[in-house]
Amino acid sequence: MPSRPVKPDQLRIIHYPDPVLRQAAEPLPGATDEVRRVAQRMLELMHEARGVGLAAPQVGLPWRLFVANPTGEPEDDQIFINPKLSSPSRENHTHDEGCLSLPNITGDITRPASITVDALDEQGKPFKLTSDDLPARVWQHEIDHLDGILILDRMPAIDKVANKQAILDLEQAAGKT
């Protein structure tokens, strides 16, 4: 965790090619008040952007934390602290995915059809969930963020070509080209 406190109200969604998106995130010591405040702000940002998940690196924090809500219903907001995936199915599914850190970019991403996630909730209690639906895809996408992996790394070459201008636009906006 950072040595100085995080100001959740100042957090914003970070866009590619910001280097924090390529860093592996560090485990958190648990569900502290600071972690809960950051997670609540991440849920707000995710909902404002009409997303279904948001990982801490996407707001500039190298923490192993993500939030998710595949339904969009407030009661379905979930916080995942130090999540770990297990039991991926042998069957894979390919679906079009986007990313809040890569606006206007989508690609066909192949992932295990079902998976299990173990994490701590906002109270620090361990929980385990298994899904073979949209939540499974969201968890895998967000944990990719925690490992510094983007959909750009997983999409087929044809999708990279189709998104070339949007990728260049993001790089130019960041002053990288």
Q: In whole angstroms, what is the distance from residue 107 CA to residue 171 CA?
A: 18
Residue of 34, 44, 142, 171 marked active site: 142
Please compute, for residue 8, the number of CA atoms within 13 A of its CA located in the half-sphere on the CB side. Answer: 13
Q: Examine the residue annotation and report whether 48 is marked as an active-site residue of this protein.
A: no
Residue 13: φ, ψ to 5° = -75, 125
3-class secondary structure per residue, 74-125:
HHHCEEEEEEEEECCCCCEEEEEEECCCCCCCEEEEEEECCEEEEEECCCCC
DSSP 163: T
CB atoms < 10 A from the CB of 7, how many?
10
Residues annotated catalytic, as ranges: 142
